[in-house]
Amino acid sequence: MANSSVFSSNITQVSPGNNRTAVIVQTFFFTLLLLCFIMFLYLILGILNIYFSTPHLRETLRCVFFAHMLVSDTLYFLVALFLLLSSIYAFQMPIPFCLAIQTLATATYRVTPYNLAVMSIEQYIAICFPLRHGAFSTDRNSNVAIAIMWVVGLIPNAAEFIAMSPVVTKDFFLHSAICNRAVIVLHPVQDTIQSFSYIVTFVLVALVIVYTYIKVMLVAQKITSKQMAASKAGKTVMLHALQLFLCMNAFLASLTEKYLKDYIPFIFLINFLIFMCLPRFLSPLIYGLRDDAFRKGIKRLFSIPCCR
């Protein structure tokens, strides 16, 4: 668990010219990854265009947090792709830039579960406290909630920086290196901080999701007039749980690399596609298809012009 991170710190370096098979396999995965990225970006930009061009969506708190999650996931994926390529092709960068990139990567990784927790709380308030939901659903509150997510997401990085400060040499930030987590881990407590932050994050978010789901379903059983709305809200909260589970799967990447790297070539590329990319690809579909406005827009994005 100590080495579980947004990206594995021991990505195998692959030279494109090692042998013909390696080149073919690597080209296949990169082509697949590029196609996935293009589709992902196309979908995200389409959904965000729908969001910003539809006034009532911008005023709906649930949609505000959904759009924020899409932006955060897009940043995460861009940084992940950059770090993957820089590791494979042994691209060296200044240590300060590497530290900034790793900070952005881990922060965006943590923000997603926080966003899921806030979205669950919003559903809970809408069903259990409908009279207070209007006062809660303000631009100020949404901006404050988003700001808190990012501040909390950056706290472990600040703690790691403080922990590494006493052992940093004067010329450390003058060097360049292939950017991975091992480069910026100078003290064992940094891994402890990271592991602790991930465990606390996922446990607390899971508790929030379970609590809100139970409360929403209790309302559905007690109040007949709210059964349909509460049932839909309960299903939405369960989708938050599914998304949290998909995010937690990233921890499996380090385990599979540790035990399967000698048996499966390019395991790090497979891990990147399954554990890093797949959850981000699914989130816009999971949530977008549940809203009528987003669903119609998504259908238009993937429909053939002559058949619309």
pLDDT tens, position by position, 218-241: 877 776 655 666 677 677 777 777
CATH code assigned at 103: 1.20.1070.10
Question: Does residue 2 sit within a domain?
Answer: no
Residue 11 is predicted with a pLDDT of: 43
| Span 184-194, average pLDDT | 89
Instruction: Give the range of the structural domain holding residue 63, as residue numbers without chain letter.
Output: 20-307
% the chain with pLDDT above 90? 19
Residue 94 is assigned to a structural domain of this protein = yes
Residue 289 counted as domain residue: yes
Total domains present in the chain: 1
Classify 25 as helix, strand or coil.
Answer: helix
What letter represents residue 227's amino acid?
Q
Contact by Cβ (8 Å): 284, 70? yes
Indicate whether 145 belongs to any domain. Answer: yes
Residue 158 clears pLDDT 90, i.e. is over it: yes
Tokens of 107: 């922060």
Contacts for 116 with CB less than 8 Å, ≥ 6 apart: 69, 205, 209, 240, 243, 244
Does residue 13 fall inside a structural domain?
A: no
Comparing 39-53, 144-158, 177-191, 260-274, the range with the smallest average pLDDT is 260-274
Residue 14 covered by a domain: no
Nearest C-alpha neighbor of 207 from the set 147, 133, 121: 121
- The fraction of the chain above a pLDDT of 70, given in percent, is 82
State the sign of the Cα–Cα–Cα–Cα dihedral 160, 163, 164, 169. positive
- The rounded mean pLDDT for the chain is 80
